[in-house]
Amino acid sequence: MIHQFTYALKSLFRNKMLIFWTFAFPIIMAFFFNIAFSNIVEDEKLDVFPIAIVQNQEWNNDEIFQKSIETLGKENSEDRLFSLHYTANEQEAKKLLEDEEITGYLIVEKEEPKIVVKKSGIEETVFQNVIQEIEKQKNIVVDLITQKIEEQMKQGITTIDQEKIINEELQSVQEKGTYTAQKNENNHLDYTMIEYYTLIAMACLYGAILGMTAINNLLANMSTKGMRVSVAPVKRMKMIISSSLVALVAQLIGLVLLFAFTLLIIKVDYGEKIFPIILLAFVGALAGLSLGVFVGTVLKRKEDTKMGILIAVTMLGCFFSGMMGITMKYIIDTAVPIVNKINPASMITDGFYALYYYSGLERYWVNVISLIIFSIVLIALSTIALRRQKYDSI
């Protein structure tokens, strides 16, 4: 096994094409991102932006929502994100939007908050995300408040200060950072980070090329080298495991180089959660490898064709998860959410996003687990095909 491992590693590191796509290309992209974003970051510091709230009956009844939004709109607050305009009805809000005086407006209808924006952009995306997060956490806050009131009633307290409880629980949830977007060191939301996350996702998924090449060299129905290996007295699973291991090791080396370059040379700030970052990169690499093994096993095409397919799939996945601009992620998330639910690039990107912008790990774990499920499904499907030792045609 060591013999195969050594030669597979040697062969891989001498393959210029593989080295370019898996090691050099992400670093080159990072370099260009850095040049391109150094100006954008300055230009696009996310300042407070105006939104309107339609003050209908439902809004007035939704105290938790009100408090949350008001916190983010409080003047002189460090966490201020919105400049709030209140309108008596939707028509007024619409008028403000048409006149481009606001980024968008919020209206609560049938107990559901609805946001209306005129175009796609960073501010619109932030608006959308924040409202979604508040909505998600509202139920938690309601539960906590109910719990607290019940406790006080049990203790025989008859004069319950509901507003105080609401404020306390809201503050507690906000301190946990469950929905308020945290501001980074530069005191603004740096959305170029998304581009770097998609770059890591791309590097992880380019590992698919390594996995595909490793498998292609082992299967008789895929290559003549595979035929030669198949007639040798070696157990196929042993060969597959050692080759996949080589691909994974190479991929992790590539990721270490990319992290080293982005951290040390172009000074990208990934935050301080080192272990979750490593875990996410590892799981992402595993997902990339599984994708490569799957394509290598199932798709009966020339190696170059498969490589082209993997590069195209990876680039498309990264595009959908925001590599060429966060707006695309927003569009896909809202128009066809299923795409990014099964898109490994989006899972990796969103995992890093969750780590960087949220202090809680719930969203991060959802992505990690999704990537693990994605990998398990592809490996299971590949194993079914790999169990075949004879072929109908070669």
Partner 1 sequence: MSKVIEVKDLTKKYKELTAVDHLSFNLEEGEILGLLGPNGSGKSTTINCILSLLTMNEGEIKIFGKEMKPNAYDIKKDIGVIFQEVAVFEELTVYENIDYFCGLYINNKQERKEKVEKAIEFVGLSEFKKFYPKQLSGGLLRRLNIACGIAHEPKLIFLDEPTVAVDPQSRNNILEGIKALRDKGATILYTTHYMEEAEILCDRIIIMDKGKIIAQGTKNELKELAGIEEKVTLEVENLPQEKQEKLKKIPNIEEIKYEGNQLMISFQKGENNFTHLLEWLKQEKISYDGIYSEKPSLNDVFLQLTGKELRD
- Find the part of the chain contacting partner 1 (CB under 8 A) among 4-12, 108-116, 251-259, 362-370: 4-12
Of the residues 220, 258, 280, 318, which one makes contact with partner 1 according to CB under 8 A: 220
CA–CA gap between residue 352 and residue 202 (Å, rounded): 13
Asked if 20 interacts with partner 1 (CB under 8 A), we say no
Closer residue to partner 1 in complex, CB, 95/228: 228
Asked if 390 interacts with partner 1 (CB under 8 A), we say yes
Asked if 184 interacts with partner 1 (CB under 8 A), we say no
Window 71-110: residues binding partner 1 (CB under 8 A): none
State CA 295 to chain mean position distance. Answer: 23
- Cβ atoms of residues 209 and 311 within 8 Å: yes
CA–CA gap between residue 206 and residue 21 (Å, rounded): 7
Of the residues 46, 234, 257, 309, which one makes contact with partner 1 according to CB under 8 A: 234
CA–CA gap between residue 367 and residue 241 (Å, rounded): 26
CA–CA gap between residue 315 and residue 309 (Å, rounded): 10
CA–CA gap between residue 92 and residue 70 (Å, rounded): 20
Asked if 10 interacts with partner 1 (CB under 8 A), we say yes
77-102 in b/e form (b: 16+ CB < 10 A) is eeebbbebbebeebebbbebbeeeeb
Of the residues 41, 144, 227, 339, which one makes contact with partner 1 according to CB under 8 A: 227
Of the residues 108, 122, 229, 332, which one makes contact with partner 1 according to CB under 8 A: 229
Asked if 392 interacts with partner 1 (CB under 8 A), we say yes
Asked if 167 interacts with partner 1 (CB under 8 A), we say no
- The count of residues interacting with partner 1 (CB under 8 A) is 28
Give DSSP secondary structure letters for 10-66: HHHHT-HHHHIIIIIHHHHHHHHHHHHHHHHHHHT----EEEEEE--HHHHH-HHHH
Asked if 304 interacts with partner 1 (CB under 8 A), we say no
Asked if 225 interacts with partner 1 (CB under 8 A), we say yes
Residue 246's alpha-carbon distances to 6, 11, 309, in angstroms, are 8, 10, 22
Of the residues 43, 111, 163, 232, which one makes contact with partner 1 according to CB under 8 A: 232
Contacts with partner 1, residue ranges (CB under 8 A): 3-4, 7, 10-12, 14-15, 217, 220, 223-225, 227-235, 389-394
